[in-house]
Amino acid sequence: MKKRYRIHKQYATEVPEGKADRPGRSQIDGLDDLATAFWRLSKWLDAEDRGRSAPARHALRQIEKFLNTQEIEVQDLAGRAFEPGWAVTVIYSTVSPDVEVEVVSETISPIVLCSGKVIQHGQIVTTRPEKEKSE
What length is written for the chain? 135
The span from the CA of 128 to the CA of 131, in Å, is 9
What is the pLDDT at residue 54? 78
Question: For the residues 2-19, what does the mean pLDDT come to?
Answer: 41
Q: Thinking of the domain 5-129, which architecture would CATH place it in?
A: Roll (2.30)
pTM > 0.75: yes or no: no
Mean pLDDT of the chain: 79
Domain ranges of the chain: 5-129
Question: For the residues 19-30, what does the mean pLDDT come to?
Answer: 53
The one-character DSSP state at 82 is P
Burial class from Cβ neighbours inside 10 Å (0-12, 13-18, 19+) for residue 45 reads: middle
Question: Is pLDDT above 80 for 15?
Answer: no
pLDDT digits (tens, 9 = 90+) for 46-93: 776 666 677 888 888 899 999 999 999 999 999 999 999 999 999 999
Q: How far apart are the first and last CA of the chain?
A: 71
Question: For the residues 7-23, what does the mean pLDDT come to?
Answer: 41
